[in-house]
Amino acid sequence: MKKYFVSVVLVLFSITGSMGQEFQSPNGNFKMIFTLEKDGTPTYQLFLKNKEIIKKSKLGLELQKDSKSLINDFKLVNEVRNTFDETWKTVWGEETAIRNQYNELALTLKQNDTDRLIVVRFRLFNDGLGFRYEFPQQKNLTYFVLKEERTEFAMTGDHTAFWIPGDYDTQEYDYTESKLSEIKKLFRGAVTGNASQKQFSDTGVQTSLQLKTADGIYLNIHEAALINYSCMHLNLDDTKFVFQSHLTPDAKGNKGHLQAPCVSPWRTIIASHDARDILASRMTLNLNEPCKIENTSWIKPVKYVGVWWEMITGKSSWSYTDEVPAVQLGITDYAKVKPNKTHAANTKHVKEYIDFAALHGFDAVLVEGWNEGWEDWFGKEKDYVFDFLSPYPDFDVKGIQEYAQSKGIKMIMHHETSGATRNYERHLDRAYQFMKDNGYNAVKSGYVGNILPLGEYHYSQSILNHYQYCIEKAVDYQIMVNAHEAVRPTGICRTYPNLIGNESARGTEFQAFGGSKANHTTLLPFTRLIGGPMDYTPGIFEMDIAKLNPNNNSHVNTTIGNQLGLYVIMYSPLQMAADLPEHYNQFLDAFQFIKDVPVEWTTSKYLEAEPGYYITTARKDKNSNNWFVGNSNGYQKRTSTITLDFLEKGKKYEATIYADASNADYKTNPQAYKISKQKVTNTTKLQLFTAAGGGYAISIVEVP
């Protein structure tokens, strides 16, 4: 399956002044031009089918303190061109094999006064451009501190952008659609009630940033292989429409501590005239290193239920008691406190979830709130933090594991760190060993709240190194990781596929915290999912949260048809049926799709796409000839028209269609759906109504 061809051309220079280097993507659609300006400033331009899509943009890095920055005064001393083509197998993914084809241009620059060397490496794929900075081992640049990275992305006009604010600590925002010129005006409104109380630039936005030009070109700016570096945001000059990289600072304001030899993450630009190509791009994965785990047989996609949504809605509690007990050196005597009646992670209740999972063919059960410390988890008393080993008195670790094993169900561990990263690292080996001793092979980790040590941010270099440390340490124990509140993914799951999921965006839980925009899931595949799968936790069937908790007036802004479609739209090898069993029991005919839909795929096709408005995706099951289709629709009801030409020619199938009813609406009638069956072939065309905030799901099964 794997093949590649590499050719190398080496050219040596000792020239100052302006000089241009040009190269193209393998299919010739993209062209990039590199230029050194008269003052030795490196720049690049990008063209799609001979149309400029990134204007001349500067490259460089500003160093801290007295060091001369790596911004200008360069000359080109070396050029290497490569071509590369391979097909690699995925451990899990949207397809079983991914082609990695690019042309590469590596330019070595020497700074005149300092004799420092940097390499700017460009890779042009058929779907876009990736480039990074490399710092070779050298005597004049060993240890250095970044004040800022000065990479530019110069836009060709006042594009439409789908953006969230450049918060250092959270990505849990709804997206705003606006012109670039409107971002500054709209920024404060976008952060109201959601900001992490940090300082913002009035034009700072996060990546992955999705854009659309007036003439219909879709652009996506992000980064890949974010390791041992700070997360990149983008500051906008809203008069010239130039984005400049803005790295997350540490507690002292520094943007990165580096030691040569080292590299930056890749800066990525995906572009196409067709929005579906943005969804189909695998460039972010391809810019990461191949899998470093020799034996991956223990990494298994999972469909699960869990003791979670009832706490999110306020129906139940994570904590065993409503009292805040006296805490001495992290030791709490729970025999002296009064238990409450709402603690959900108790043995009897968890066994009910295990029974439900076994009855309906799920793989696993997640339980949150099983361990001591939730009453004082922010350290209001004696800096108490979790130890990840001590269950509450009403949670029988061994008994639950034995019961789950007897039913063929795996248990998923939950580690809420409360942002105390050093504490988590101190306990990590013991916590992972505790998991292995009790039959847990997957963990959901959380980082809610300000990072401890205070002053650090969720997306600064040292905290990103913590997330990476946990992933790599988990390999030693053969544990899969699902990290919540961590940094957004950048394709690292190719290298470490035990990173089976992340949250790192506004997930379903916010539907119980006041709601999310009805078009939110038409944007996440264009933004958050560019770097890897999300544990979005779909499958909510009861939209009126007050029915679970009379004190919570939130409404889930979606329909049942939409919730079913998300199991195909929102790709993840880790899929949850997030609602309560009693709600599924009310709609068992619709619940059937959640039971049937796989979590492993061999092929993915993108049938319709317009960011912010609609997405329709088809995927083929990895273990059969069955196909599944999902649709998510925005605010405007519409008719979705698709052709099933992805089906094998000459074969017959039966399609079961789970669609919005004609009177469905995410606000007024979210539970209105209809189920129909019909025979289909690869020539069948379907026209399906999608309500405002609605969607549909289709299972397509081969028949004789």
Closest alpha carbon to 233 in 145, 167, 156: 167
| Known active-site residue 177 | no
Q: Which of 94, 172, 372, 509 is catalytic?
A: 509
Residue 583 CB partners (closer than 8 Å, separation 6+): 541, 542
CA angle, 651 as apex, 649 and 657 as ends, to 5°?
Answer: 105
Structure tokens that stand for 228 in this block: 């041992």
Alpha-carbon distance of 466 to 575, in angstroms, equals: 25
Residues 6+ apart with CB under 8 A from 298: 441, 478
Name residues whose C-beta falls within 8 Å of residue 64's C-beta, 6 or more positions apart in sequence.
Answer: 144, 145, 146, 147, 254
List, as one string, the DSSP characters of 162-188.
EE-B--SS------EEEEGGGHHHHHH
Find tokens 């990840």 and name the residue: 388
Note whether 656 and 621 are within 8 A (CB). no
Helices (runs of H) and strands (runs of E) counted in the chain: 11, 37
Question: Peptide bond before 453: cis, by omega within 30 degrees of 0?
Answer: yes
Distances (CA, A) of 418 to 64, 379, 432, 559, 564: 32, 9, 18, 33, 32
Cβ–Cβ contacts within 10 Å for residue 541, how many? 25
At 531, phi and psi to the nearest 5? -95, -5
* Distance (Å, whole) CA 147 – CA 703: 62
- The Cα–Cα gap between 409 and 148 comes to 49
Smallest CA-to-CA distance from 42 within 134, 152, 143 is with 152
Q: Is cis: bond before 208, omega within 30 of 0?
A: yes
Distance CA 616, CA 640 (A): 8
CA–CA gap between residue 439 and residue 435 (Å, rounded): 6
Q: Which residue type is seen at 664? A: A
Distance CA(420)–CA(415), nearest Å, equals: 11
In angstroms, the CA 391 to CA 479 distance is 20
Torsion of CA 511, 513, 517, 518, to 10 degrees: 20
Cα distance between residue 421 and residue 417, in whole Å: 7
Cα(660)–Cα(666) distance, rounded to whole angstroms?
10
The catalytic site residues sit at 509
